[in-house]
A = this chain, B = another copy of it.
C-alpha cells in the first residue's frame, strides 16, 4: 500500500525521554526520572464520593456529548481561581494542559515560524509544537529564566515566547518579580505574544510565586493551567485562558481535535473542588514535596561533597537541576547509574539549540525520603567512579606520553 507520510510526520520523533524512562522502569531501580506526582497525594476518597454524586444526580448529562468550551461551572471556577480578572468565556477546558500546547501550535505556528523558548525548556512542549514545523529558538536564560534583553533581541518575527515562570520543568527555577516585570515589558514593547505554562504554580513551599505574566498583560498572553498536579493527572484535565482575539480559533481547533474533554471528568472535578477542597488539599501536597525536596538537597550536599556538582534548591514544583563536573556526559552516565539502581533524565533533550551535556533533571516528588537518600548516594557513587575512571585514563595517557622518547 502507498502510505505516504505528511512532511510534518518526519518532525515527529519518539520521545527520547520516553525511551529512557522505559529502561528505568525495571524493578529495583529508584527512578528520579519521571514527572509523576506522588500517588499519595491523590484524593481517592473525594473522587469516589464525587463519582457517586455525579452519577446519581446528573448521570445522563455527565455521560452525554457536551460543549467544546467545557462545563460552564468549571470554567467559572477556573476564572475565580486565577489571580486576575478572567471572563469565564475566555476559559477553554482542555484534555490535559498538553492539549493546550497542541491547540496553540495549530493556531499560531506555520512551518518555519520562530518560537522563542527558555534554555532549557519543557521537552513535551517542543514535541507538541514539532508537528506544526516551527523553528524553536533558545533565549539566553539564567537561574531566573529568560533574560529580557535576549528576549527583546530575538522577538522580531517570532510568533510567541513559550515561558514557564514557576518552578520550571526541567530546572525547577522561578522568575523573580523583577524579572517578570522586565520580561513582560520587553514582550509588550516588541508586540511579542507570550504562551505562559503554569502547571506547578500552586506547588510552592514557603511563599506563593509572584503574579503570572498573563496577569500583567492578559491581551498579550495565552495562559495554560492543569489539574494534574493539584488533583490527579489520570483524569487528563487542564485549561487555557486566551484573549478574545484568539479564543474562537483555539475553540475551533479544540472541536476538531476531540469535540470536548470528558464531561464526566469535568463534572467530577467540579464536584470535588466546589466547597474549597483545594484550599485544604493543596497544602498537604506542598508539605509532602517540601519534605522531599529538603531530603534531596540535604542528600546532595552530603553525598556530592568534594565533587564539582552544582545544583539548585527549587522553591516549589517537582524538579531539581544538576550540573556535573567537566568531562561528565549525563547521557553516558545514565546506564552506569541504572546499574547502581538509580535513574534520572539527562538534560540534553530539553535544549532547543546547543545543549549542555553536563546537566540532568531529578524529580523529588515520586520517590520517598528513604528512596531519595539511597538514590542520591548511588548517584554520587556513580559520579565518583566515572571521575576516577577519567583520572586513571588521564594518568595512563600522561605516563604513556612520558614513555614515548
The residues of A with any CB-CB pair to B shorter than 8 Å are: 1-9, 12-15, 18, 34-37, 39, 42, 44, 47-48, 51-52, 55-56, 59-66, 68, 94-96, 98-99, 102, 106-110, 113, 124, 127-128, 130-132, 159, 188, 191-193, 217, 219-220, 228, 232-236, 243, 245-246, 248-249, 252-253, 255-265
Contacts and interface: CB of A to CB of B under 8 A. Distances in A.
A55 B59 contact: no
Given A48-B52, A64-B233, A131-B256, A8 B106 contact: yes
A379 to B, nearest CB: 23
B106 A131 contact: yes
Contacts of A192: 1-2
B252 A12 contact: yes
Contacts of A64: 36-37, 39, 42, 232-234
Nearest to A128: B256
A188 B94 CA distance: 39
Given A1-B220, A9-B249, A258-B96, A56 B48 contact: yes
A262 B265 contact: yes
Contacts of A94: 258
A3 to B, nearest CB: 6
25 contacts: A1-B192, A1-B219, A3-B243, A5-B107, A9-B108, A9-B249, A12-B107, A12-B253, A18-B255, A37-B64, A39-B60, A39-B63, A42-B60, A44-B60, A47-B55, A48-B55, A62-B234, A63-B235, A65-B228, A95-B236, A96-B258, A124-B256, A128-B256, A236-B260, A264-B265
A265 to B, nearest CB: 6
Contacts of A37: 64
Contact of A236 (B5, B15, B98, B262): B262
Nearest to A245: B3
A130 B130 CA distance: 18
A63 B48 contact: no
Contacts of A159: 4
A234 B256 contact: no
A256 B18 CA distance: 12
A256 B2 contact: no
A9 B7 CA distance: 18
B6 A257 contact: no
A150 to B, nearest CB: 19
B3 A95 contact: no
A281 to B, nearest CB: 13
A2 B259 contact: no
In the A-B complex, the 8 residue pairs with the smallest Cβ-Cβ separation, listed nearest first, are A63-B232, A2-B191, A39-B60, A44-B59, A1-B220, A51-B51, A63-B234, A12-B252
Nearest to A265: B262
A51 B62 contact: no
Contact of A246 (B3, B60, B110): B3
Contact of A259 (B4, B39, B236, B243): B236
Contacts of A265: 262, 264-265
A193 B3 contact: yes
B258 A95 contact: yes
Contact of A234 (B188, B217, B253, B262): B262
Contacts of A193: 1-3
Contacts of A260: 236
